[in-house]
Amino acid sequence: MSLQDYKGVFVFAQQVDAKVSGVTYELIGKANELAADLGTDVTAVVLGSGVKGLADDLAAYGADKVIIVDDPVLAEYTTEPYTQAMDAVINEFKPEIVLYGATAIGRDLAPRISARVKSGLTADCTKLEIDPEADPDSGLHNLRMTRPAFGGNIMATILIKKNRPQMATVRPGVMQKLEKDPSKKAEVIEFNPELTKNNKYVTVEEVVKKISDKVDIMDAKILVSGGRGVGSKENFKLLYDFADAIGGTVSSSRAAVDSGWTEKDQQVGQTGKTVRPHVYFAIGISGAIQHVAGMEESDIIIAINKDETAPIFDVADYGIVGDLNQILPLLTEKVKAVLADK
């Protein structure tokens, strides 16, 4: 079989408890751009049990086709049956490109699929684009997959020239979903490959769901983010007080997480989460490229740093040079006073 026989851009549509994960919509949005450049269509692949009703939602966000693999053994995510199912989909429908979210599930599944279909996989991509120049050997336009390397100090662009499908994982928040169009419908294909139980199967005895009252920083409209310059875990109270006053959520740089001042799920950056809030306060954050990559798409960036030469001011819309220990309490009181007058 030749490379020319592989057509279409596929998205692994991750779902948990029959609810589609947000990164799936983001990937479908990017898949539409790639498909337009290739003159092909976008297919969402849903694996699960009782998931046939998800097709309309996936269509509304841009899927032209939806492949449903509905099997009781896929009710909970376990590696082997999901790998068998996705492997069967790829062998049957032969996509040119397959995209996965770089979630716990996607990072577990994608490399196993890569090994079984004997093709490449680029992890944690921040940019995907179709090479405008056709490959001289195959005559095809390859997918250019860009990801940070060497701790984020360089960006590497990777191409898979001799194998198909071309596959990539993309972190949540990096790509943008399309506007929902409820009138859009997709061709629904029910596919039922034989899933064979083997010694790689595991049994899920119990699922324990953790309930958290924290707001996911990826969903927050206002983020108050602190870095090494905050100075201590105790000083983060100033950020929490300000966030409470302004209706925001506290996030941080990697330095603050590594110092034990904040939790990992609060980290913004290449090794944390990519965020796009309406307002991003960068407090005591120098502005290293690894951090900026995770927040530069914020609508408004406001930086507070005592070092007037800090790189964060190069990306900030507004900047305050000064001591955050003096500035933040004043801002907090001012916000409280303004809101009290309303």
User: Mean of the pLDDT values across residues 216-230?
Assistant: 92
On the question of a cis peptide bond just before residue 165, with omega within 30 degrees of 0, the verdict is yes
Percent of the chain with pLDDT over 90: 72
Scored b (16 or more CB within 10 A) or e, 230-241 reads bbeeebbebbeb
pTM of this structure: 0.77
Return the ∠ at Cα 286 (arms to 301 and 278), rounded to 5°.
Answer: 15
Task: Return the bridge partners of 169, or none.
Answer: 100
- Which token pair is 330? 């004043």
User: Distance between CA atoms of 179 and 1, rounded to whole angstroms?
Assistant: 37
**pLDDT given at position 244:** 93
Span 289-307, average pLDDT: 91
Percentage of residues in the chain with pLDDT exceeding 70? 97
Question: What is the tens place of the pLDDT at every residue in 21-42?
Answer: 999 999 999 999 999 999 999 9
Burial of 289 from C-beta contacts in 10 A (0-12 / 13-18 / 19+)? middle
pLDDT band at 137 (very low <50, low <70, confident <90, very high): confident
The whole-angstrom separation of Cα 161 and Cα 188 is 31
What's the whole-number mean pLDDT along residues 94-99?
96
Q: State how beta strands 143-149 and 15-16 pair.
A: unpaired
**Predicted confidence (pLDDT) per residue in 229-255, tens digit:** 999 999 999 999 999 999 999 999 999
What pLDDT does residue 290 have?
85
Q: What is the pLDDT of residue 219?
A: 84
**Among the ranges given (62-71, 149-158, 237-246, 277-286), the one the predictor scored with the smallest mean pLDDT:** 149-158
Calpha distance 242→251 (Å, rounded): 12
Helix H or strand E segment including 260: none
What does the pLDDT read at residue 198?
Answer: 82
CA distance 241 to 255: 21
Q: Which of 159, 110, 142, 167 is nearest to 3 (CA)?
A: 142
pLDDT at 213 (0 to 100): 63
Q: Please report, as a single letter, which amino acid is at residue 81.
A: P
Q: Using alpha carbons only, give the angle 123, 224, 273 rounded to the nearest 5 degrees.
A: 10
Q: Give the model's pLDDT for residue 200.
A: 80
Residue 195 to residues 54, 80, 131, 269, 291: CA-CA distances in angstroms? Answer: 22, 9, 36, 39, 43
- The 3-state DSSP class for residue 182 equals coil
